[in-house]
Amino acid sequence: MLFKIENLEIIDAGAEGKSVGKKDGLTVFVPFAVPGDIVDVEVFKKKKGYAEARIVSIKTKSQHRVEQECAHFGLCGGCKWQILDYETQLKYKQKQVEDAFHHLGKFEFSTILPIIPSKNRYAYRNKLEFTFSHLRWLDDEDMLMRNIGNKLETNGLGFHIPGKFDKVLNINNCLLQAEPSNEIRNSIRTFAIEHNISFYNIRNHEGILRNLIIRNNKKNEMMLILSLTEMNNKTKLLLDFLVVQFPQITSLFYVLNTKLNDSISDLEPVLYSGAPFISETLDGIRYKIGPLSFFQTNSLQALELFNVAREFAQLTPKDIVYDLYTGTGTIALFVAKYAQKVVGIEYAEAAIEDAKYNALQNGIHNTVFFSGDIKEVLNENCTKRNGKPDIVITDPPRAGMHSDVVLRLLEMEAPRMVYISCNPATQARDLTELSTKYFIEKVQPVDMFPHTHHVENVVGMRLKT
Q: How far apart are CA 111 and CA 324, in angstroms?
A: 25
Residue 397's pLDDT is 93
Give the amino acid at 8.
Answer: L
pLDDT band at 19 (very low <50, low <70, confident <90, very high): very high
Mind listing the pLDDT tens digit for each residue in 338-396? 999 999 999 988 889 999 999 999 999 999 999 999 999 999 999 999 999 999 999 99
Strand, coil or helix: 92:
helix
The pLDDT of residue 110 is above 70: no
Q: Give me the sign of the Cα torsion angle 320, 323, 327, 329.
A: negative
Instruction: Judge if 372 and 434 occupy the same domain.
Output: yes
> Does residue 144 surpass a pLDDT of 70?
no
**Catalytic annotation present for 76:** no
Share of the chain above pLDDT 90, in %: 86
| 345 strand-pairing partners | 324, 370
- What is the rounded average pLDDT for all residues in the chain? 93
Residue 21 domain flag: yes
322 and 449 assigned to the same domain: yes
Final residue belonging to a domain, choices 226, 254, 282: 282
Task: Look at residue 20 and tell me whether its pLDDT is greater than 90.
Answer: yes
Same domain for 337 and 250, yes or no, is no
Angle in degrees, CA 376, 295, 184, rounded to 5? 140
Q: Are residues 234 and 172 in the same domain?
A: yes
Residue 75 lies inside a defined structural domain of this protein: no
143 plus 33 within the same structural domain: no
Pair (365, 300) in one structural domain: yes
Kindly report the CATH number assigned to the domain that includes residue 275. Answer: 2.40.50.1070
pLDDT digits (tens, 9 = 90+) for 261-271: 999 999 999 99
Summarize pLDDT for 278-297 with one digit per residue, the tens.
999 999 999 999 999 889 99
Element (H, E) at 377: helix 374-377
Confidence of residue 111 (pLDDT cuts 50, 70, 90): confident
Q: What confidence score (pLDDT) does residue 68 get?
A: 94
Q: Residues 103, 145: one domain? A: no
- Give the pLDDT score at 146: 64
Mapping DSSP to helix (H, G, I), strand (E, B) and coil, where does residue 422 land? coil
DSSP three-state, residue 278: strand
Average pLDDT of the segment spanning 120-145? 88
Nearest 5°: phi and psi at 251? -150, 110
pTM across the whole model: 0.93
CATH number at residue 37: 2.40.50.140
Torsion 405-331-299-113 (CA) sign:
positive
Residues 146 and 265 in one domain: yes
pLDDT of residue 145: 64
- State residue 150's pLDDT score: 66
* One domain, residues 237 and 330: no
Pick the last residue of a domain from 282, 303, 318.
282
- Kindly tell me if the per-residue pLDDT of 273 is higher than 70: yes
Residues 268 and 348 in one domain: no
410 phi-psi bin (left φ>0, alpha ψ -120 to 50, beta other): alpha
Does some domain include residue 46? yes
Q: Does residue 363 lie in a domain region? A: yes
pLDDT greater at residue 86 or residue 3: 86
| Domain range for 24 | 3-65
Strand partners, 127: 215
pLDDT at residue 163, rounded to an integer: 82
Is residue 314 in some structural domain? yes
Q: Is pLDDT above 70 for 140?
A: no
**Residue 113 and residue 133 share a domain:** no
Exposure b/e, 138-153, CB count within 10 A at least 16 = b: beeebeeeeeeeeeee
Query: At which of 248, 282, 316 does a domain end?
Result: 282
pLDDT at 134 over 80: yes
Domain count, the chain: 3
The answer to whether residues 451 and 373 belong to one domain is yes
Mean pLDDT calculated for residue range 192-206: 96
For the CA atoms of 232, 238, 244, 249, the dihedral, rounded to the nearest 10 degrees, stands at -100
Is 364 a member of any domain? yes
pLDDT tens sequence across 59-106: 999 999 999 999 999 889 889 999 999 999 999 999 999 999 887 767
Q: pLDDT tens for residues 325-354? A: 999 999 999 999 999 999 999 998 888 999
Q: What is the CA radius of gyration of the chain?
A: 24
Please give the DSSP secondary-structure letter assigned to residue 115: P
Residue 288 lies inside a defined structural domain of this protein: no
CATH number for the domain spanning 406: value is 3.40.50.150
The strand pair at 456-463 and 438-446 is best described as antiparallel
Per-residue model confidence as pLDDT tens digits over 421-443: 999 999 999 999 999 999 999 99
Q: What amino acid is encoded at 434 in this protein?
A: L
Is residue 298 in a domain?
A: yes
